[in-house]
Structure 1
Amino acid sequence: MQYRAPLWLPGGHLQTIWPALFSRRHRGPAPAYRRERWTTPDGDFVDVDFVDAADAAAPLLVLFHGLEGSSRGAYALAFADWARRAGWHYAVPHFRGCSGELNLAPRAYHSGDFEEVGWMLARLRERHGRPLYAVGISLGGNALLRWAEEAGDGAGATAVAVAAVSSPVDLTAGALAIGRGFNRLAYTPYFLRTMKPKALAKWAQHPGLFDRERVARARTLLEFDDAFTAPVHGFRDALDYWTRASAKPHLQRIRIPALVLNARNDPFIPARSLPAAHEVGRCVTLWQPPHGGHVGFASGPPPGHVLTLPEAVMGWLQAQR
């Protein structure tokens, strides 16, 4: 990806924060979603938002959102705009608890949730019966890559190609980075302001599921993952979760075309932790532009727009047909 940040938007922090809050994410009116509620194999539910194409035989683009994201996020709307203009079907499956309503089961979602991703993709492929492409943003990208790794040669029966954007494929490096310095002041409270109330509501649903007081005291993602995410999802502790859920150690196992895009000035993800060419398999393409921030990649004069990102990613995905 040949991305050059606008001169008026210097540095990884501004390139992360400004596009998420102010940059334009669609041409014309916002895409109108149609929502479906699916019952999961364990009796819970997930909500999936769709934008339907006029041509029933058009390809399907599936987007997996990031931590505490939804179909209303800037990047989700930007990819929806791309799909609408390209005449593709578009789907955004919400991870459990992220669609505006607390889920029912004694679990939530996490960065290595490849079984859930696989179930969602298989159901979409079975129902739509058309070429399927998938994009994962941040956490959703790591989970998508983990699915492709675990599926191996079987992934091609479900998806033509996948892309991960600004994904922390080394979760330990990313989680520790977000807990330091300016990151801890700016980004950690942003995530915890929704994660902690939802976790505490989950405890009210299922008393004793985890140590409620530890979650209430959590001030970093390390503390939160150690008290909630890890024990609720079967991991020993936060380090065990980050180690087992990270996509980076298994990138050589991917057997379908996969794009891994990370800006080297992403404040969440240290550049030194990004995968190198010798650490990935022949099916994996690495894009690591020097600028872009975390799911930023804004372009144009102020306030800018985030439409360059889906155009670049979808251009690559389409070339894999």
Structure 2
Amino acid sequence: MTAFNAPWWARNRHLQTLLPTWYKRNQQIPLEWEELTLSDGDFVDLAWHPTVQPPGEQQPLAIVFHGLEGSVHSPYAKCILPALAAQGWAVVLVHFRGCSGRSNRQWRSYHSGDSAFAGEVIDTLAERFSNSPLLLLGYSLGGNLLANYLADTPHSRVKGAALVSPPLDLAACSESIQRGFSRVYQHHLLSRMKRNLQRKIRQQQSAPLAPEQVAQWRNFWEFDQHYTAPAHGFAGADDYYQRCSGLGKLKHIAIPTLLLHSADDPFMDKRVIPQAHQLSAAVEYRLSDTGGHVGFVHGSLWRPRFWLEEAIPLWFSQQLQPANN
């Protein structure tokens, strides 16, 4: 796998972060939807990309987890799902609770360390694809979630995992995104989070919060302090960040894992970059100078290419080779 190097015209961190949205805004991909009932009575929606080949008994299954407030309509999903399906693999994107456009049934929703949720969905799909090698891919929050899952689940049928731009130090990222132009990203994401929570409040008769309270929150820490933490059993935002940050979990990962960061990621700072002693032998770490947050756009201005949709299928294919089994 060649290293990523941004072209001269796209070396700005914010341009890298925003370009996939501009280029992919009108792209439509074929999807087949499935509602998956969870053991606690809640549900999530799965979005399947039709494979280009008939299903085989040992056809690999790629399971994709999106980022904060993301979905199958996020630009990175529009890039990677067709690229994975083109390999002849079964491909599914798992929506977190409430992220598919429908509010989930319970007061809780999703968070960055919910390895139990990831495990339930992965186990369900693994049982269905009983003879298939499994591949896991997580973007941003979904990448940190998978870092938790992989550390908590050292023995599984997963052949390889890829984590793209994961916020491995949640407290650091909560601080970093409040600086400079990055506040624009926080405002965009936080506005969506607040709207979704206010909709949930109006749909539930005994919600412990009022829409007016939610409207007053101004940053991720306040959202996590007043909703994420109490709704998911944490003492507060700081407790949530400390217990769910993936940085300290990487040394416990035993499954071959590709970890991708860019040094100019506007959602983070250098505190998310792991040191060598924090990585297990199973983790292959790639840090590029440029790439933004889940950007990694190269090629020409008029014919851009998306490095992730080239690099990730290649790396997964290498893990599926007999020598890696």
Kept after mapping to 1: 8 A contact 2:62/2:84? yes
The change in CA–CA distance for 1:18 and 1:61 in structure 2 (over 3 A counts) is same
Partner of 2:106: 105
Deviations 1:118-140 (A, max 9, x none): 11111111112211101000000
Partner SS for 1:160: strand
Kept after mapping to 1: 8 A contact 2:107/2:207? no
The change in CA–CA distance for 1:217 and 1:319 in structure 2 (over 3 A counts) is same
Q: Which runs of 4+ in 1 moved over 6 A?
A: none
Q: Match for 2:260: what amino acid? A: L
Kept after mapping to 2: 8 A contact 1:37/1:45? yes
- Cα drift, residue 206 of structure 1: 4.9
Q: Which has the larger displacement, 234-243 or 204-213?
A: 204-213
Deviations 1:152-208 (A, max 9, x none): 2x2x33x11111000001111111101222211x11111012100111222231534
- Cα drift, residue 75 of structure 1: 0.8
Q: Match for 2:30 among 10, 18, 32?
A: 32
Q: Match for 1:200: what amino acid? A: Q
Q: Which has the larger displacement, 300-309 or 195-204?
A: 300-309
Kept after mapping to 1: 8 A contact 2:264/2:289? yes
Aligned length in residues: 314
Partner of 2:235: 236
Where do 5+ consecutive residues of structure 2 fail to align? 321-325
The reply on whether 1:297 has 2:296 as its aligned counterpart is yes
The reply on whether 1:149 has 2:151 as its aligned counterpart is yes
Q: After the TM superposition, which residues 252-291 of structure 1 pair with which residues of structure 2 at under 5 Å, given as runs?
A: 252-291=251-290
The reply on whether 1:92 has 2:90 as its aligned counterpart is no
Q: Match for 2:48 among 47, 50, 55?
A: 50
The reply on whether 1:67 has 2:68 as its aligned counterpart is yes
Q: After the TM superposition, which residues 143-182 of structure 1 pair with which residues of structure 2 at under 5 Å, given as runs?
A: 143-152=145-154, 154=155, 156-157=156-157, 159-182=158-181
- Cα drift, residue 39 of structure 1: 0.8
Partner SS for 2:34: strand
The change in CA–CA distance for 1:208 and 1:81 in structure 2 (over 3 A counts) is closer
Where do 5+ consecutive residues of structure 1 fail to align? none
Partner SS for 1:22: helix
Structure 1 length-normalised TM: 0.93
Partner SS for 1:86: coil
Deviations 1:294-313 (A, max 9, x none): 00001222255453212112
Deviations 1:42-70 (A, max 9, x none): 11111001123223122111110000000
In structure 2, what is the Cα distance between the partners aligned to 1:25 and 1:309? 17
Structure 2 length-normalised TM: 0.92
Partner of 1:4: 5
Kept after mapping to 2: 8 A contact 1:214/1:227? no
The change in CA–CA distance for 1:49 and 1:208 in structure 2 (over 3 A counts) is closer
Partner of 1:23: 23
Sequence identity of aligned pairs in percent? 38
Kept after mapping to 2: 8 A contact 1:23/1:306? no
In structure 2, what is the Cα distance between the partners aligned to 1:137 and 1:237? 25
Q: Match for 1:200 among 193, 198, 201?
A: 198
- Cα drift, residue 319 of structure 1: 1.3
